[in-house]
Amino acid sequence: MTNRFLSALVLVGFLVIPAAAQVRTNGYFSLNYGQGQDQSAFSRSSFQEAQAGLVLSGEWPPRFAYALEVRSRDVTRFEIEQAWAAFRWSDTVQIKVGLYLVPFGKYNQSARPFQTRLVQAPLPVGEVFPSSWREIGLLVEGKSGFLVYSAYLGNGLAEGENLRAGQQFMDNNRDKGRGGRLGLLLSDAFEVGVSYYSGKIDAENDRGLTLKGVDLTWSDARLHLSGEYIKAEIENPAPFSRGTAEGWFALGSFDIGSLSPFVAYEKFNYEDAFHGPGFAGPLTAGLGLFDKRSLWALGIIATVHPNILLKFEYDLNKESDLELKNNVFRAQAAVHF
């Protein structure tokens, strides 16, 4: 997506949206700080990852709705996060067309700085699939009684050096990615969901990628619990065996006035002999990917204003068969309006 195309789309949005009956403008921005041990990525303390986003949304009653979200990827580059129009047949059936965040698990659709407890995304997220995974295509979703569902069809993920490099906006083969999520509302506070995705990833349309996931959220007035499990299976050409990536995280927090201490455990394992550094398609295999990590994240969130959060987090990192001094202290200021 070029800057020229993005600018044109945003301009059209500003010209057209004011004519709508119900318009909402929301935004957010954040700044991170990192200080790590000698063998971490932040051995020198640094302010980093300045983020910003703007969301324009609204309705054309009684059946139509729209959303346009622009989000920074670094301090010099903005991308479209969402751009869709929806037809609401009923609470049971809503059809979205355009660019949407993929409803795989819960975290991918709620990863903005003011929506998350953690400063850094959990290990499986952004490793088993790209961060802010988006699709161009069709999404159908709705709610009926204690069931919520999503089903989508889009261009799908592409093959790359690793799974996090799979984001694409123009299809690289004849196959379409398809998937969905089914959630069970066991109570007002408790939801369990399962997710599934399948699609071909290579340009020759031969080899597929399958993702499976389970998510859980439980929340009352003070205590909040959440977790996700994600597994990927990657078809590789002979003589390479099938690649796998698997991970999970669990997070709990407790509100004490304006403070919310939290603890999280995250684990990730990636084994793929075909991809990795140097990968250049089926004729040039990479060096392989063998990554096994886990971490404990301990922290606290201070709500200094209903629209301002300060987060402080300490990550105790551990790699399989290695003893590294790579623990990291992280902090984040997040604002939304």
Segment 124-134, tens digit of pLDDT? 998 999 999 99
pLDDT tens track for 140-196: 999 999 999 999 999 999 999 999 999 999 999 999 999 999 999 999 999 999 999
Both tokens assigned to 27: 């935004």
| Residue 225 neighbours by CB under 8 Å, 6+ apart | 216, 217, 218, 219, 250, 251, 252
Can you tell me the distance from the alpha carbon of 158 to that of 278, in angstroms, rounded to the nearest whole number? 16
Give the three-state DSSP class for 304.
strand
Q: Report the Cα 64 to chain-centroid distance in Å.
A: 26
Please compute the mean of the pLDDT values over residues 210-230 and round it to a whole number: 96
Please state the length of the chain: 337
| pLDDT of the residue at 15 | 47
How far is it, in rounded angstroms, from Cα 163 to Cα 231?
A: 12
Binned at pLDDT 50, 70 and 90, residue 332 comes out as very high
Mean pLDDT of the chain: 92
**Residue range(s) defining the domain that contains residue 188:** 3-336
pLDDT at 107 over 80: yes
Number of domains in the chain: 1
Query: Which CATH number fits the domain that encloses residue 200?
Result: 2.40.160.10
Give pTM, 2 decimals: 0.89
pLDDT surpasses 90 at 333: yes
